[in-house]
Amino acid sequence: MITRLFSCSTLGTEGYLVEIEVDVSGGLPGISVVGLPDEAIKESKERVKSAIKNSGYEYPSGRITVNLAPADIKKEGSCFDLAIALGILASSNQIPQEVLKDFVFLGELSLDGRIRPVCGVLPVSLYLRKTQFKKLIIPSQNIYEAGIVKELDAYPFESLKEVVYFLTNFLERKSVKFKIEDLIKNKDYDLDFSEVKGQAQVKRALEVAVAGMHNILLIGPPGAGKTMLAKRIPSILPPMSEEEIFETTQIYSIAGLLNKESPLIVERPFRMVHHTASDIALIGGGQNPKPGEVSLAHNGVLFLDELPEFHRDVLEALRQPLEDGKVTVARANKTITFLSKFLLVCAMNPCYCGYYTSSLHACRCSSSQIQRYRNKISGPLLERIDLHIQVPELRYKTLLEKKEEEPSSVIRQRVEKALRIQRKRFQGTNIFFNSQMDTKLIKRFCILDSSAQNLLELALREMNLSCRSYDRILKVSRTISDLAGSEIIKAEHISEALQYRSLDKELY
C-alpha cells in the first residue's frame, strides 16, 4: 500500500517541496530509501524504526520502500524522519492516509519518539506561503521561525505520538503566531563610544562608514585602539527592517545557529574572524555548501583583525562578495547563492613590528620589510575599501583627561538621519545605501559645485587614482554631505573624503 505525503528541504537559502512515497509490501523485512539521500537520511531507518516502536505503534514486518522526489536533487539532513514515520504508519493502516494530505511535515526523531529541532525552518516557511500548502507540523523548538510567517499555520509538537493523536482525533488546535515586534528586545550595548578617549578623527570616519555602509580600514600601531573602536560599531548601527530580519535569519537558520533564546536575528550581526580562517570558512562552501562568515555578516559587520596575516587566497576571495553582495558556490550538480551584503571593517599594523607610524616606539623594520608586509594586501582589494584611516597612539595626557566623550546614541541619531535621506533618495530602486550606487546613480545623485569639481580634478592628477577609487570618493562625499544635510557636494566634503584615500598614493 502506497502513501504519499510532503516534507520540505532547502537549496542554499531557498526551500523546495519534497514528495515522500512510502510503500509497505510483502517480502523479506527491510527498508530502503531512494531519491539521492545522504548518510543522515540513510541512518533515519534505524531512528524511525525505534521511534515507532517506542511510541507504542507496530513496525511493519514486510518490505518498506521510501522514495524522495524529485529524485534528481540530493536530499540532506534529518528533517524527513517525521514524514517517513507517518508514511509507514499510514501504509500499514495504523492511521488513515487522508489526514496527511493537507500538511507538510518537518522534524528529526529521537529513538524514544521525541521530535528534535531541524535547520532551515524559516526558508521552508517562506517558500510554503507561495504554494497551496498552508499547514506545517514542526518541532516545538522551531516554532519561532515558522510562527512569524503570517500566511502559514504552524503547529508545534514534542513527539510522534502527539502528532498522531492530533491527526487521528481531529483535534481543534490553534496554530502559533508571532509578531516580529514581540520578539524584538531593546538591546543596551555593553560597549559605547563614550568609553573611548580621544580618536575624534577615527570616530568620525567610522560614523561616515556606517552612515553610507562604506568599507573601512584602520591602520595603527599595537594598542592604539583599533579593535576597541571596531567592537563599538554595533552601537551606532541603525535598526534592521523586517525584510533584513527575514534575510539574515534565513541564513542563520540554514547554518543551525538559531535557538529558543535567539529565534530571530533582529540586531545587525557583528562577525569577528580570526586570521587563520580558511577561504571556505570565510566565503562558504564545502561538500554540502553552507554559508560562510561573509554571509553570516549579511546586513551587518564583518571585522577582519590583523588583515595582512590572512592568507592571500582568502583575502582575494573577498572580492566577489564585496562587489556583488552575494556568494555563488558552484558544484557539479548544483549552484547555490548566499547573500553577503556587509560592512567590511579591517584593522592592521603599519609594519611587521607594528611601530612604523609610532611616535612613542622605534620601528625595527627595514623599508623592504615594510613594503613586503603591506603588499600582502593587493591593490584590487584595497580599492574596494572606501576609507583608509590612521589610528594614532594616544598620549598619557589624553587618557587622563576628564572630558566627556560623545556617546554612541548621539552618533546613531546622525547616522539614522543620513540613512533616512538615502532611503528617500533611492526609493523605487533595489539599493539602500550610497555605497551601493552604480555609475548611473553616481552621475545622477553626486552633484558637485564648482569648487568641489576643481578640488577633485586636482586630486585625481596628484594622487593618480583609478576609476574605481574615483567612484568611491564620490560615494563617500555623498555620505558626508548627507550627514551635513547638504543636497550639493561641496569642496569640504570632497576634501574629507580624499583624506580617507591617502593609502592609494602611499602604498601603490
Question: Which tens digits make up the pLDDT trace of 347-357?
Answer: 999 998 988 87
CATH architecture, domain 193-427 = 3-Layer(aba) Sandwich (3.40)
Which candidate, 302, 307, 310, places its Cα nearest to that of 327?
302
Half-sphere exposure of 504 (CA within 13 A, CB side): 26
Does the pLDDT at position 508 exceed 60?
no
Average pLDDT of the segment spanning 33-46:
89
Average pLDDT of the segment spanning 66-77:
90
Bridge partners, residue 272, by sequence: 303
Task: Name the strand (E) or helix (H) holding 344.
Answer: strand 343-348
Domain 2-178 has CATH 3.40.50.720: no
| Confidence band, pLDDT 50/70/90 cuts, at residue 419 | very high
Contact 2, 22 (CB under 8 A): yes
Contact 260, 429 (CB under 8 A): no
Which candidate, 203, 204, 267, places its Cα nearest to that of 229?
203
Residue 228: alpha-carbon gap to chain centroid: 23
Does the pLDDT at position 172 exceed 70?
no
Does the pLDDT at position 383 exceed 60?
yes
Please tell me whether residue 125 adopts helix, strand or coil conformation: helix
> What's the CA gap between 369 and 351, in Å, rounded?
8
How many other β-carbons are positioned within 10 Å of the β-carbon of residue 126? 22
| Cell of residue 232, nine digits | 563599538
| Confidence band, pLDDT 50/70/90 cuts, at residue 137 | very high
Which candidate, 158, 149, 231, places its Cα nearest to that of 183?
149
Average pLDDT of the segment spanning 317-335:
85
Does the pLDDT at position 507 exceed 50?
no
pTM: 0.88
- Residue that is written with C-alpha cell 543596551 in the block: 188
| pLDDT, the chain, mean | 89
Out of 1.20.950, 1.25.40, 1.10.3470, 1.10.8, select the CATH number for domain 437-508.
1.10.8
Average pLDDT of the segment spanning 82-90:
96
Domain edges within the chain: 2-178, 193-427, 437-508
Residue 194: alpha-carbon gap to chain centroid: 28
> What's the CA gap between 137 and 327, in Å, rounded?
32
